[in-house]
Chain A
Amino acid sequence: QAQLVQSGGEVKKPGGSVKVSCEASGYTFTKYGLSWVRKAPGQGLVWMGWVIPHNGNTKYAQKFQERVTMTTDTSTSTAYMELRSLTADDTAVYYCARDHYDFSTGYRMDVWGQGTAVTVSS
């Protein structure tokens, strides 16, 4: 069964950076993309971007374009999301999710990680 397991919660200081990992199992890692989504307290879901493991291509949401980097390690079936220049507004739960894309059946995020809580506080 496909599964995504994320790294543990983090506490960071403003101006710092955080790197969250997402290890995939139960499916061929290079056959699907991976998106990162965050949910801040009291707010809705926000898509941050995606990474394509088989070629490393990325697309980032404009809001995060200048301070996010998404990478993958195909040898360990692990994806990473690094966010820099942290502020209190980046306090949120960060999720990875498998991008299931098929031209005939559409797009969906069908497998989700358990979430990683990131707290930014001085």
Chain B
Amino acid sequence: DVQMTQSPSTLSASVGDRVSITCRASQSITDWLAWYQQKPGQAPKLLIYKASTLESGVPSRFSGSGSGTEFTLTIDSLQPDDSATYYCQQYNSYSGLTFGGGTKVEIK
């Protein structure tokens, strides 16, 4: 199975900061990677798919990059509403899906 390792596990930043979250795959997944945002008491929300495609309606301050085994989610100009836990997810037609462990983003 493909393992996904996210870092950092927690992140504290100020409003207006640029923050990045990294996700590493145990083997190449080309660009079959998605990012989700989850707030307490809510279902996860899709942000990015195919590593860098922004889901409709998601603010443009969110962006994704990477391919192969290393991926990054970047939030430009962090906003109070961005306080949440972020997860990466890989897709493999043989082994299925795997989520990263999550990154909790806190606003200072």
Contacts and interface: CB of A to CB of B under 8 A. Distances in A.
Contacts, number: 69
A105 B38 contact: no
Interface string A35-77: 1010100001111011000000001011000000000000000
Chain B interface size range: 20 to 34
A109 B97 CA distance: 11
Interface string B28-53: 00011010101000011110011101
Contacts of A108: 34, 46, 49-50, 55
Contacts of B43: 95, 97, 112-115
A120 B53 CA distance: 39
Nearest to A115: B43
Contacts of A109: 34, 36, 44, 46, 89
Contacts of A47: 89, 96-99
A47 B97 CA distance: 6
Given A106-B31, A107-B49, A109-B34, A44 B99 contact: yes
A62 B96 CA distance: 10
Contacts of B44: 37, 45, 95, 97, 109, 112
Contact of B32 (A44, A46, A107): A107
A104 to B, nearest CB: 9
Interface string B45-75: 1100111010100000000000000000000
Contact of A106 (B1, B36, B49, B99): B49
The 10 closest A-B pairs by CB, nearest first: A106-B50, A108-B49, A107-B91, A112-B43, A47-B97, A44-B102, A45-B99, A108-B34, A44-B101, A110-B46
Interface of B: 1, 31-32, 34, 36, 38, 43-46, 49-51, 53, 55, 85, 87, 89, 91, 96-102
Given A46-B99, A108-B46, 18 more contacts: A35-B97, A37-B44, A44-B101, A45-B36, A47-B98, A61-B96, A97-B43, A101-B91, A105-B49, A106-B51, A106-B53, A107-B32, A108-B34, A109-B34, A109-B36, A110-B46, A110-B49, A110-B55
